[in-house]
Amino acid sequence: MQTVLTAHYLDPTDRNWNATIDTLWQQAGAAQNPAFIPPHFVKSTFPRMGGLVVAFYTGERLSGIGLLFPRAIINNNRHYTLRLHEIHERLADAAVQAALAKTPAIIYRPTDGTTFTPTAPRPAGVWIGPPQAGDLDAITTLYRKVWGSQPYPPDLFSREFGPGTALVATVDGQLAGFLLGFLRFGCSPTAKNELAIESQVLAVDPAYRQHGLATRLKQEQARLALASGLHCIHWTVDPLQLPNAILNFNHLHAVAGEFVRGYYPVRNEQNLVTASRFGITWLPTTLHGRQGLSDKRQRFQLSNLPNVAILNEGLRLRSVFADPLFIAIEIPSDWTALQHRDLNHAMAWRSTTDELFATWIGWDRYVIYAVAGDAGGHHYLVGRPAGAWIW
């Protein structure tokens, strides 16, 4: 009698979630398989964007691991792309579909071959568009250069996988940056089941950062999303990274209404201490958000904000009056360099600001919407009460 293939859905709220993912990845030989997605993403962002992890068993033998990526919402039902990693032998599609039962999914195997935009020369100057197969090695190299950790598998950029966003930026024909995003279920707190974009990873070569490529990549991502009928883009960011804050708030006019302490269980060149994160929401169809589609850059001075409550001076907390019109939280001017220069001091910065963000930031409290400076050269994240102005 043939043993039936069964699917076991993993619960991300289980207290052993991280350890379970590590064990599965080890059993499947992920360390020797570059097609496996970095486990820190699976542990953190993946379930938050509506993804599901499923382990397939033949009897008691682990036969495969599947990641169910959000794909579409049809008649109010969620549909997925199953990114399938088989361990011993190829599993029959019919058996996989039967095991998934009532979860509608298209099966995608990274081993089955991928295609990309046809190879063609790029124009001189700055160009942004879909990747070609010849870009994949350069993307992997750039990821390692910027992040210093395991890169995302290049097949995620392919037509077969169908990511939410797949973009590269070139300067005079040379790859200078890339942006990879996924589809997600739910984005803004007012639309819990909408299909949206999770803008997962962006990298720009330091040699080309004078071209504004990060802003251009994000703007093109938004235009493509809008053309597909998607109105919300979400991503996570380290709240202490000043360049990212300026990009997200002053250039793109996104807002941060979520904060998660210790979001990523990861250590790399930019995360030597606890990897806390803001959840960033960009709504490029709203009055506030659509300003991010223009090339206008806003600059804010703390002195121009009425009744602003400065919550800290470095590591020293300040007492503030009740219900201020604006709040300002000081952040380091170069967070990555600080972590490498003085790890203990960086840990103190993280602990202090984590407490402030956890206390003040939320969709029912204050949202961060700008970066402002003062006469002394300090930089602050500026928040105001959440309200109708966002939507």
Closest by CA to 313, choosing from 365, 376, 250, is: 376
List phi, psi (to 5°) of 142: -65, -40
Segment 369-373 shows an average pLDDT of 96
Would strands 366-373 and 300-301 be described as parallel, antiparallel, or unpaired?
parallel
pTM of the complete model:
0.94
Sign (positive or negative) of CA dihedral 31, 35, 36, 41: positive
293-346 pLDDT tens trace: 998 777 889 999 888 999 999 999 999 988 999 999 999 999 999 999 999 999
Q: Is the pLDDT of residue 1 over 60?
A: no
What does residue 170 show for φ and ψ, rounded to 5 degrees? -120, 150
Query: Tens of pLDDT along 355-368?
Result: 999 999 999 999 99
What is the pLDDT of the chain when averaged over all its residues? 94
* pLDDT digit string, tens, across residues 222-277: 999 999 999 999 999 999 999 999 999 999 999 999 999 988 766 666 676 888 99
Across the range 209-214, mean pLDDT stands at 91
The pLDDT value recorded for residue 267 is: 65
Mean pLDDT for the stretch of residues 78-91: 96
Q: What is the pLDDT averaged over residues 140-145?
A: 94
User: What is the 3 state secondary structure string of 271-285?
Assistant: ECCCEEEEEEEECCC
* Residue 269: predicted pLDDT: 67
The pLDDT assigned to 2 comes to 65
pLDDT of residue 20: 96
Q: What is the mean pLDDT of residues 141-170?
A: 94
pLDDT at 149 exceeding the cut of 90: no
What integer pLDDT is reported at residue 266 of this predicted model? 66
Least Cα distance to 272 among 205, 330, 357, 350 occurs for: 350
Mean pLDDT of 182-191: 90
**CA distance to 116, 204, 279, per residue, from 255 (Å):** 33, 22, 8
pLDDT at residue 188 greater than cutoff 90: no
Percent of the chain with pLDDT over 90: 85
Q: How far apart are CA 272 and CA 264, in angstroms?
A: 12
CA 15/CA 12 separation, integer angstroms: 8
Give how far the C-alpha of residue 368 lies from the chain's centroid of Cα atoms, to the nearest Å.
17
Q: Which domains are delineated in the chain?
A: 5-111 (3.40.630), 121-231 (3.40.630.30), 241-391 (no CATH)
Distance CA 294, CA 324 (A): 30
**Residue percentage of the chain with pLDDT more than 70:** 98
Q: Which pLDDT value is given to residue 192?
A: 78
Question: Can you give the pLDDT at residue 209?
Answer: 87
pLDDT of 155 higher than 60 = yes
Comparing 285 with 391, the larger pLDDT belongs to: 285
pLDDT at residue number 61: 94
Please enumerate in sequence order all residues whose Cβ is within 8 A of that of 363, keeping only pairs 6 or more positions apart, or say none: 189, 257, 258, 386
pLDDT of 228 reads 96
